[in-house]
Amino acid sequence: MRSPQASSPRMSRPFPAFLLILSAAAALHPQALAIGEQASRTTVIKAGRLFDSEKGAFLDNQYITVQNGRVVGVEASMKDPKGANIIDLGKYTVLPGLIDCHTHLLFLEKIGRQGSGLSSESVAALVFEGDALRALHGAARAKTFLEAGITTVQDLGNGGQFADVALRDAIEDGSVDGSRMRVSGPGLSAEGGQLPGLLYRHLPLANDEYRIVRGVDDAVAAVREHLVMGVDVIKVYADSAPNVARLSVAEMAAIVKEAHRYGLRVSAHAVSDTSVRDAALAGVDSVEHAYSLSDETIQLLKEKNIFVVPTLLSSDSLARYVELSGEVDKDVIKKQLQSMHERNRDVLQRLMKNGIAIASGSDEYLDLNMPQGQSAKRVLYAYAECGMGVLDILRTTSINAAKQLRLENKVGVIKTGSFADIIAVEGSLEKDIRVLDNIRFVMKGGKVYVDSSAGR
Ligand SMILES: [Zn+2]
C-alpha cells in the first residue's frame, strides 16, 4: 500500500511436445475463437498497429501466430494459415497484455466512511472479513484487472496469511478468471506493520497481515518461511508509513541476501528519501513509491541498478478521491493536490533524466467506485501528466515491468516464445495514452477473455 526474483516455476513450465503435435493436427477449420475458447489450434491475429516493446515503436499490419497459448511467429505478411482461426484486429492497436507491478487484490479501502483510512480498514479486513472472504473478493477484483487488459500483476502483500498464494494458484489452475499473479505473502515489516494506533495488547494483530521482523536472524527465518509457502517475490517495508518503526539496513540486507540465495527478488516499500536510501544500501531489487528522492539517492539507485515503481494517482483519481472523502474546503485540497503533483512530476523527471529503470505499479487499493482494473490503469495516465511520453509509458508496463518481475521474454512482449497475452485498443495511442480505456480484445495464454471488436 501507498502509505508504504525468481521466475515462477509454474510460469516457466515447458509445454509438453506431444500436445504441440496433437494441436497442429487438430487445425482443420478456419473459425474465429469464441470468448473463453482456448487456442489449442493455430490462431492468426491480424494487428492493424502493433506495439513492439523491444523496439519501443509501433509497426503497421502485423500477423501474430499463436499455438498452445504461446506466440510462435510475428510477421509482416500472412503465410498460408492452413485452416487457422483468424482474428481480425486490423482496426485496432495491438499490445502485449499490460503488467502492473504493484497491486493489493485482497484489500480495498473504502473512502469517506466514518473511521475509514488505511489502518482501520486493514484492521476491519483482519477482524471482520478474514482470509477466505478476502480471497474471494480478490478473485472478483482479479477479473476486473484481466478485463481491463492487465494480464499480469505482482501482488505485494495485504493478503492476510498467504491468501494471495491461494488466489494465484486458483487462477493458474483455471478455477478463477484473473491476471497472472506473482505474490509476496505478508510483507516483512518492523513492529506494528502499517497499523498505527493499536493498543499495546492488540499489537499482535499486525502479525496477521505482516511478518513482523525482530532482528537479523529473524529476518532470515522470515524469508525461509515465505519460500516454503510458495511466494514469488519478497516484499519488505523499509518504512511502514503511516507507522513509525523502520527495519534497519542490516535486517534488510539479511533479507536480501537470503532471498537472493533462492533467486527471489526483493521489492521494498519506501516512501521517504531516507527509507529509499536504506533499501538501496541493503541491495533490494526495486523500491516502490519513492515519493521523495534526493539526487544522491538517485545516484545510488543508478549505481545499484535498482528499479523504481512510482505509484502515482492521476488527476481524475485524485478528484474522485476528494469527492468521495466528503472534504469541503476545496481551495485547501486544490493546493495540496497541486503541490503533490509538482512533487511527483519533479521526482519522475529526475528519474527519467538519470536513466533509472521505471516499471509501472498502480498500488490500487482505494475504492473509487469503479472496477479496480480500470482505475489501476490510471497510473499510466499519471505518468503522462508528469511529462512521460507514450512510448516510455508503454515500456514501463511491458518490457520494463517484465524485467522487474524477472519474466523477460515471457510477458510484456509479443514475440516467438512469449505467452500469448495480447490485447487490443481502439483509437490512437500515440496521441493519447487514455485510449487504453477502450479495450476491445483480451487474450491471456491463448484464451480469449474479452472480444468486443466489431463484427465478432
Ligand atoms: Zn502498496
Q: How many other CB atoms are found less than 10 A from the CB of residue 263?
A: 10
Asked whether residue 456 carries a pLDDT value surpassing 60, the answer given is no
CA of 312 to the centre of ligand 1 (A): 11
Contact 142, 176 (CB under 8 A): yes
CA of 433 to the centre of ligand 1 (A): 24
CA of 121 to the centre of ligand 1 (A): 14
Per the prediction, the chain carries an average pLDDT of 90
DSSP state, residue 216: H
CA of 102 to the centre of ligand 1 (A): 6
Mean of pLDDT values over 63-77: 96
CA of 261 to the centre of ligand 1 (A): 25
Residue 256 has a pLDDT of: 98
Mean of pLDDT values over 410-430: 97
Side chain identity, residue 96 = P
For ion ligand 1, residues whose CB falls within 5 Å: 1, 4, 363
In this prediction, residue 22 has a pLDDT band, given cuts at 50, 70 and 90, of very low
Pick the more confident residue, 265 or 430. Answer: 265
CA of 270 to the centre of ligand 1 (A): 10
Residue 296 has a pLDDT of: 98
CA of 365 to the centre of ligand 1 (A): 8
Classified as helix, coil or strand, 157 is: coil
Contact 362, 103 (CB under 8 A): yes
Mean of pLDDT values over 418-443: 97
CA of 288 to the centre of ligand 1 (A): 8
Mean of pLDDT values over 241-258: 96
Classified as helix, coil or strand, 146 is: helix
Residue 124 has a pLDDT of: 87
Residue 310 has a pLDDT of: 98
CA of 429 to the centre of ligand 1 (A): 28
Pick the more confident residue, 31 or 305. Answer: 305
Name every residue whose Cβ is closer than 8 Å to that of residue 120 and which is 6 or more positions away in sequence.
Answer: none
Mean of pLDDT values over 269-288: 98
Residue 1 has a pLDDT of: 61
In this prediction, residue 454 has a pLDDT band, given cuts at 50, 70 and 90, of low
Mean of pLDDT values over 139-146: 98
Name every residue whose Cβ is closer than 8 Å to that of residue 446 and which is 6 or more positions away in sequence.
Answer: 38, 39, 40, 43, 66, 67, 68, 69, 70, 419, 420
Helix (H) or strand (E) holding 373: helix 372-376
Pick the more confident residue, 34 or 446. Answer: 446
Classified as helix, coil or strand, 310 is: coil
CA of 285 to the centre of ligand 1 (A): 16
CA of 82 to the centre of ligand 1 (A): 48
pLDDT tens digit sequence for 342-354: 999 999 999 999 9
Asked whether residue 286 carries a pLDDT value surpassing 90, the answer given is yes
CA of 4 to the centre of ligand 1 (A): 6
Q: How far apart are CA 212 and CA 189, in angstroms?
A: 5
Least confident of 96-110, 138-152, 279-293, 309-323: 309-323
Pick the more confident residue, 20 or 313. Answer: 313
In this prediction, residue 177 has a pLDDT band, given cuts at 50, 70 and 90, of very high
Residue 334 has a pLDDT of: 81
In this prediction, residue 243 has a pLDDT band, given cuts at 50, 70 and 90, of very high
CA of 450 to the centre of ligand 1 (A): 28
Residue 322 has a pLDDT of: 84
Asked whether residue 152 carries a pLDDT value surpassing 60, the answer given is yes
Q: How many other CB atoms are found less than 10 A from the CB of residue 18?
A: 8
pLDDT tens digit sequence for 25-45: 333 333 456 666 655 689 999
Pick the more confident residue, 79 or 85. Answer: 85
pLDDT tens digit sequence for 193-241: 999 999 999 999 999 999 999 999 999 999 999 999 999 999 999 999 8
CA of 434 to the centre of ligand 1 (A): 23
CA of 364 to the centre of ligand 1 (A): 8
Asked whether residue 13 carries a pLDDT value surpassing 60, the answer given is no
CA of 37 to the centre of ligand 1 (A): 34
Least confident of 20-34, 112-126, 157-171, 393-407: 20-34
The pTM assigned to this predicted structure is 0.91
CA of 74 to the centre of ligand 1 (A): 36
CA of 415 to the centre of ligand 1 (A): 31
Cell numbers describing residue 115: 473511521
Side chain identity, residue 58 = F
